Structure 1
Amino acid sequence: MPARSVELPVDQAVRLAVATFEAEADPAYRDSLGPRYGIHANDAYGVKMASIQKLAKSLGRSQALADALWATRCYEARMLCAYVDDIEAVTPDRMDRWAADFDNWAVCDTLCFSLWDRTPHAFDRIHAWASRDEEFVKRASFALLASVALHGKGLLDDPFLDALTLIEPAAEDDRNFVKKGVNWALRAVGGRRRILNDEAIRIAERLAASNAPTPRWVGKDALKALTSPQLQERLAKKPS
């Protein structure tokens, strides 16, 4: 992901972003973020993702710009960070600092799915965050694992097999955004290749047999996807 230089000075780029958010603000959409999507965000304007992505293309990529946007604490500005941060400037320390600020799943998942899964630090952070207490930091571990599983073409199986050991302990966490992140990760890893599918199914079967409701839900829901005829047919066509 080559960095595109920012033509505007950082302060001007931030002002342009805020002006765009103000111009495209949709109060009705903003007010629906919580009730409809479960996104409880402070300082939101109500700007849709397509507009945020379009703005990102005009701004280019810059660590300084991303840091300045993050510091605004604005929901849309933090979503924008996923598309303007310089991937080569992402460090574990910056990932930790931003993850500690997460207050909703949308910013968490967007950074994992559109930026952090391309970094060489992804698996380290997956392991570092998997046992954290904060709901959205812990979710970030599994959202990042799912994102790497979906986007990491050509990666070896071993890091994923290692990461699958994180699933069962985390499946005990009954917080909504954690358990859904764990479920997503289990399905995504198990959808990569046969060896990972076999291991993911074994994990899902153990979870499905649990007496506790949360791991049982994680396991049963994952099993439906992992054993589906469509996935099994696709995996059969992949080299072992």
Structure 2
Amino acid sequence: MPAPSPDWTAGQVIDHLRATGSEENRAGMARYGIVTDKAFGVGNSELRPLARRIGRDHARALKLWDSGWREARLLACFTEEKTKVDADQARRWAGDFNSWEIVDTAADLFSDTGLHPLIPEFASDDREFVRRTAFAMMAWAAVHAKKEPDATFIGWLPLIEAHSTDPRNFVKKAVNWALRQIGKRSTALNGPALALARALSESQDRTARWIGKDAMKELSAEKTLERLARKR
């Protein structure tokens, strides 16, 4: 098979993935909760370099996604042309989510493409992986959206509070993740995030208490506060 290149079609990419995957990798992925019923068994350490070699292509990314294969969908996220992703595409893809790994990768893409207005919509969606997307987007934005004003993140705290009682594993972990990342973004955000964490830690709801207590540990830790002070 020729070396991967930008002129590769979605079919050639999938043929390459099929040829390079392994059952051993599939078994290892399953141990980490990755859905493998449509997986070739190609690790991210191989997918990232492959994405760089084939480059970005919107039409190909859409075809890779529609194939349904795990690795093809990750490559679709890695090689999508960010300026061509719109809200309708994000909604379509979110409807296909079936794994935390795919959610978190796509959430990074959605956040980078400025689709933050979708966060309340995704948070209100009762499907576990769609709701997780909202909070994964918050977490990614807190780290990578350097120009986003603090007011944006303050505006997301009520969503964190509203869904802090969702006991589903992939939701509660994302809610916790979002709260911690927002609180670590800046000194100005640490106070409101820590106040919410403290309030949740005193909740009558078991899930909310776990989210609050876990977030409090990190947001009030000396090393966190020292890092924020240096950053300021």
Please give the TM-score of this superposition, normalised by the length of structure 2: 0.95
How far 1:127 sits from its partner (Å)? 1.4
The amino acid of 2:111's aligned partner reads D
In the alignment, which of 57, 64, 76 is matched to residue 69 of structure 1? 64
Partner secondary structure for residue 165 of structure 1: helix
- Matched residue, 1:163: 156
Does the CA contact (< 8 Å) of 1:92 and 1:125 recur in 2? Answer: yes
Corresponding position: 1:98 with 2:132 = no
Q: Measure, in 1, the Cα distance between the counterparts of 2:227 and 2:27.
A: 41
The amino acid of 1:183's aligned partner reads N
Q: Which moved more, 1:39-48 or 1:70-79?
A: 39-48
Q: Measure, in 1, the Cα distance between the counterparts of 2:175 and 2:75.
A: 25
How far 1:235 sits from its partner (Å)? 1.0
How far 1:45 sits from its partner (Å)? 0.8
- Within a 5 Å distance, the mapping from 1:25-64 to structure 2 comes to 25-34=21-30, 36-64=31-59
Corresponding position: 1:120 with 2:87 = no
Corresponding position: 1:18 with 2:14 = yes
Q: Deviations over 1:28-67 (max 9, x none)?
A: 2202322x21112431011000111111111111110110
Q: Which segments of 5 or more consecutive residues in structure 1 lack a partner in the other structure?
A: 1-5
Q: Measure, in 1, the Cα distance between the counterparts of 2:113 and 2:222.
A: 33
Aligned length: 228
The amino acid of 1:49's aligned partner reads N
Q: Measure, in 1, the Cα distance between the counterparts of 2:53 and 2:193.
A: 41
- Within a 5 Å distance, the mapping from 1:166-205 to structure 2 comes to 166-205=159-198
Q: Measure, in 1, the Cα distance between the counterparts of 2:101 and 2:204.
A: 31
Q: Measure, in 1, the Cα distance between the counterparts of 2:114 and 2:206.
A: 35
How far 1:76 sits from its partner (Å)? 0.4
How far 1:23 sits from its partner (Å)? 2.2
Does the CA contact (< 8 Å) of 1:41 and 1:103 recur in 2? Answer: no
The amino acid of 2:96's aligned partner reads D
Q: Percent identical across equivalent pairs? A: 39
Does the CA contact (< 8 Å) of 1:26 and 1:45 recur in 2? Answer: yes
- Matched residue, 1:3: none
CA 154–103 in structure 1, closer or farther in 2 if over 3 Å, else same: same
How far 1:69 sits from its partner (Å)? 0.2
Q: Deviations over 1:97-127 (max 9, x none)?
A: 00110000001101112x2221122x21111
Q: Which segments of 5 or more consecutive residues in structure 2 lack a partner in the other structure?
A: none
- Matched residue, 1:220: 213
Q: Measure, in 1, the Cα distance between the counterparts of 2:76 and 2:125.
A: 23
Q: Which moved more, 1:53-62 or 1:144-153?
A: 53-62
Please give the TM-score of this superposition, normalised by the length of structure 1: 0.91
Moved over 6 A (4+): none
Partner secondary structure for residue 61 of structure 1: coil
Does the CA contact (< 8 Å) of 2:123 and 2:131 recur in 1? Answer: yes
